[in-house]
Every structure is written in C-alpha cells, then in structure tokens.
Amino acid sequence: MEPSDLIWMNGDFVAWDEAKVHVLTHGLHYGTGVFEGIRAYETDRGTAIFRHTEHLDRLAKSAELYYMPMPFGREELRAATHELITRNDLQSCYIRPLVFRGYGTMGLFPLDATVDVAIAVWEWGAYLGDEGKRAGIRAKVSSWRRIGPDSLIPHSKASGQYLNSVLAKIESQKAGYEEAILLDHLGHVCEGSGENIFVVTGGEIITPPQTASILDGISRRSVMRIAADLGHTVVERDIARAELYLADEVFLCGTAAELVPVREIDDHAIGTGEPGPITRAVQVVYEDALYGRDPRYADWLDVVGVPSTTS
Ligand code: PPE
C-alpha cells in the first residue's frame, strides 16, 4: 500500500490518500454495505483473477438482498479492476470491491441514500500465515453463533454482518487459537470466521449445506469440484460439533485464507494431529488451479488485460 497507488471510486481513479468518505457516511454508521474478497495470481498467462465473474455475481446478489441498486454493471467493474491492477503495477494482489450507502441521508430507511462503489487492490500475504497453510492451525468452536437467517442474511456478504465474525475472531485469538469455528443457529457446524469448512471422515468429504447459514463460498465450490475430480465423494449435510473432534481431517477454505488444514479443535488433535492426505491432495490441486498450473481449471481465471468474452 503506497501513497502512489490508486483506488477506483465511483468511476474515477484516485490517489490512495485521497480515497475518502464523509464521517456521516450511512454505511459507516449502520453497516449498510456489501463487499467481495477476490485474489489475483501471477500465472504463465499473466496476472489472473480467480473466479472473477462468480465474485462479481455474488457482489450484485449481496447488494440486491439489501435493496441496494448497483450503480455499475459487472463489465464496468471488471474492466475497472483490470485497469486498477495494471496501473498499480501489481502481479498478484487481493481485490476488495465495496458497495455502500453513502453520505447525505441518516436514519434507518436507506433507500433514498446514495450508493457508492470503491475498489482497492493490495498485496496481502497468507491470511492465516504460511505456517498455518503448511502445518495446519488450531481452532476453537466459538461461543458466538453464526448470524441466523431469521435476523440477517447469511448469503449476503454484507459489511455489518461481519461484527459477528469479528466477535468470534477476537474470542479465539484471546483464548490463544488461530481461528474460530462458528455453529449455526441450530447448533450445527457452520464455518470459520472468514472461511468455509470441510470435514473428512472415513474417506468421505463433508461440508455444511446452504441451509446451515454459510456464506456460499466460491473457494468452497471450487474445492468441491476439485475433490470430486480427484474421485472423492463430497456430501453437503449438517455436521454435529462432535464430528469435528472425531474427524480424520478438517480444513478451511476462503479467498484470503486459501486452503488451510486444521490440526486441532478445542484441544482435540484432528486425526494424527497433522494435515491429512486428502487435505494435502486437494490443497495441491487447489493451489495449482489458483496459479493457472492445471489446465482443467483454466476457465476459472480472468487474465488481466484480456477482453471479456461474455458481452
Ligand atoms: N465465510 C465467510 C464468513 C467469509 O467471510 C468468507 C470469505 C468465506 C466464508 C469464504 O468465501 P470465498 O472467499 O468466496 O471462498 N472471507 C473474505 C473476507 C476476509 C476478510 O478478512 O476480509 C475473504 O476470504 O476474502
């Protein structure tokens, strides 16, 4: 993050230090924003954005769920992101588009407030550490339940909803663990504070279903496809808390975190206490897909500078 870097705001490229909002911005007070977390990797074909279309689709859906009209279309945001990465001279980066209710209206009825859009890009290392990706992390089941579908919208990647993740993350860090695992409103396993979760038992790969208040993760979908391509059975079903402790392997996945083995949960060693063979095998192919090394997943990459074929 250099002051010379640019940020895209409402159609303009502005200097990093000039990308400002008013203190009475609606989203700052009420969390009325939606966002995405996307990554671009250096590949043989050039800098490539992983599953860009799917992320931009989810951004639009997250906005729609909160009655927020998107002032820019998917193609405009895609082109802006390409130009931003090029102008900031980045070979790999994290990409953060944010759509939020802006300045000018206070109070809880937001439909008259403006909708602003910003995109920032920066270099962001391994979210749970390089060592975590290699050797696995220690996690704690949070005392905070994941937001329920009867109070907020788990399917929307909305800014205000992240207070839930923040509480869980603080609790786990203060207790000496690297990540929190949240249960859903019914007590079933849901996900990490910023990752989806997979459990491996008896050779079967299990992950919580859409009805378990998960974020419909794009890494999750990619991992499910890769695991199936490797010949594994992948099942979406509710998971009981004790199944975590009894599992042969557990891993988390998300854009920022990528694929991270979990070696211990609530002080129970998972399997042998080291990343298991299925986790490792899926992790290797997943990383190959991210870096464009596996031709089977070449169409998941949006190469920066290459025009869209969809419009
Ligand atoms: N659940 C939550 C709550 C979540 O925030 C993420 C992504 C996922 C699951 C995985 O979704 P996907 O990235 O589509 O596979 N979390 C983003 C934000 C992290 C942050 O600290 O900010 C991310 O990974 O970019």
Phi then psi dihedrals of residue 38, to 5 deg:
-135, 155
Per-residue pLDDT for 70 more than 90? Answer: yes
| Interval 142-191: pLDDT, tens | 999 999 999 999 999 999 999 999 999 999 999 999 999 999 999 999 99
Asked if 108 contacts 30 with a C-beta cutoff of 8 angstroms, the reply is yes
Cβ neighbours for 27, distance < 8 A, ≥ 6 positions apart: 33, 100, 101, 102, 159
Residue owning the nearest CA to atom 20 of ligand 1: 194
Strands 46-50 and 33-35: unpaired
Atom 19, ligand 1: residue with shortest CA distance: 194
Cα-trace Rg, the chain: 19
Task: Report the atom number in ligand 1 closest to the C-alpha of 39.
Answer: 25
Task: Count how many residues are written for the chain.
Answer: 311
- Which residues, other chains included, contact 102 with Cβ-Cβ below 8 Å and sequence gap of 6+? 21, 25, 26, 27, 113, 114, 115, 116
Whole-angstrom distance, CA of residue 14 vs CA of residue 119 = 11
Mutate to test the pocket of ligand 1, among 36, 172, 196, 260 (most ligand atoms within 8 A of CB): 196
Name all residues whose Cβ lies below 6 A of ligand 1.
37, 165, 191, 194-196, 215, 217-220, 254-257
Which active-site residues does the annotation give? 157
Helix extents (H) in the chain: 26-30, 52-65, 74-87, 130-135, 162-174, 218-229, 241-246, 277-290
Within its chain, how far is the Cα of 1 from the centroid? 20
CA angle 131, 135, 141 (to 5 degrees): 95
How confident is the model over 246-268, as pLDDT tens digits?
Answer: 999 999 999 999 999 999 999 99
Kindly report the pTM of this predicted structure.
Answer: 0.97
pLDDT in tens, 270-307: 999 999 999 999 999 999 999 999 999 999 999 998 87
